[in-house]
Amino acid sequence: LLVRSKEDITQVSRYDLQAYVDYVAEPQLTASNRRQNLALPKKLNPRTHDLIAGWRQRYQDPNDVVDAALQHFRQQSFFYTLNPPKLTSKNTVDEFLFNSRRGFCEHYASAFTVMMRMAGIPARIVNGYQGGEFNPLTSHLTVRQADAHAWAEVWLSGQGWRRVDPTAAIAPARIELGLSEALPEGERIPSLVLADNAISRTFRFSWDALNNSWNGFVLGYRQELQMKLLARLGFKAPTLTTLVWVLAATLAVVIAFVAWSTRRRRKPKGKIDPVIADYEKLCKMLARAGLERRIDEGPLTFSQRAAAAFPQHGSTLKKIFSEYARLRFYPKINENTKRGWLQINRTFRRKTRLEPIEV
């Protein structure tokens, strides 16, 4: 999604947008667009060229080449960091892929894009935002500059532009939990760490909720309607001082409520959800047996491939994956259901030996 303003935005604005989740971007690629998204400097990065040449000989399907690149990132010792070493060679992609192997989202997105273009697959880098912070008070999502992200898109026949995020192959926590959780302990950003404590989070949620409500229900009206609304609330000719006091009192009430609800529902800090952790372990078990989960593949789709690859365990795998989808995407799941799923998953991994399959 790209929204551009022809003029500078100097005040709070509202935009009504509609998503077409099944939309296929550019099902037919023009010759000029194909050339543009295959363009590469000549005679650079020979080691990467050799790597890609091997994949092109081995794989006929472009989807398999995409998967091979992601698998390369997963299997080699790559690391996510905001303080990567400086790339000094003219063959920067070679230096990154075979020497430093350290970087952040733009490093991985650009290296992946170069690899795809070398393979004859049109590819491009996309800059935007990933994630955000969900406010439970008003159910709105706040996206900040810390959520800035870069990923790639590849053009595939019959699919159009397909989104691929190579960073997720290196640091799944960057996608699941946000930037702060993906960084090594010594690289945590102070502002993000401070923002994660209960008091800061409570205040931030309260202020954002109040701000969002004000923007949504007051600033969206003309001044005449704003004054009518305030008059209905008992403020026929409100001064700035009066409005500030009302705002402060409302904020105090909201903070008190959030603090109370936070104490009731607080989860242990610093712990990854065991459901996510066990799901990742199951995916790694399948990967060791030769079945890699694609970066854009959800649990239900992956369960179909897993059941086909290991038919003797098909029903169990489908049950585990479908129950995982319920646990992740349906919020009102009791703890007994979670414990039951964890037990089934762990028992399966402990007692099952998967025979390697041909890729």
- Dihedral angle computed from the Cα positions of residues 44, 47, 50 and 56, in that order, rounded to the nearest 10 degrees: -80
Q: Are strands 79-80 and 102-103 parallel, antiparallel or unpaired?
A: parallel
- Which tokens hold the place of 6? 């022809």
Chain length of the chain: 359
* DSSP state, residue 99: I
On the CB side of 123, CA atoms within 13 Å amount to: 26
AA letter at 282: L
Please pick, among 67, 94, 165, 278, the residue that the annotation labels catalytic: 165
Please pick, among 49, 94, 107, 149, the residue that the annotation labels catalytic: 149
- Which tokens hold the place of 41? 């400097």
Please pick, among 49, 67, 94, 105, the residue that the annotation labels catalytic: 105
Is 72 an active-site residue? no
Is 16 an active-site residue? no
Helix (H, G, I), strand (E, B) or coil at 32: helix
What gap in Å lies between CA 110 and CA 152, rounded to an integer? 8
Helix (H, G, I), strand (E, B) or coil at 106: helix
- Site of tokens 């979670």: 338
Is 149 an active-site residue? yes
On the CB side of 64, CA atoms within 13 Å amount to: 10
Residues labelled catalytic: 105, 149, 165
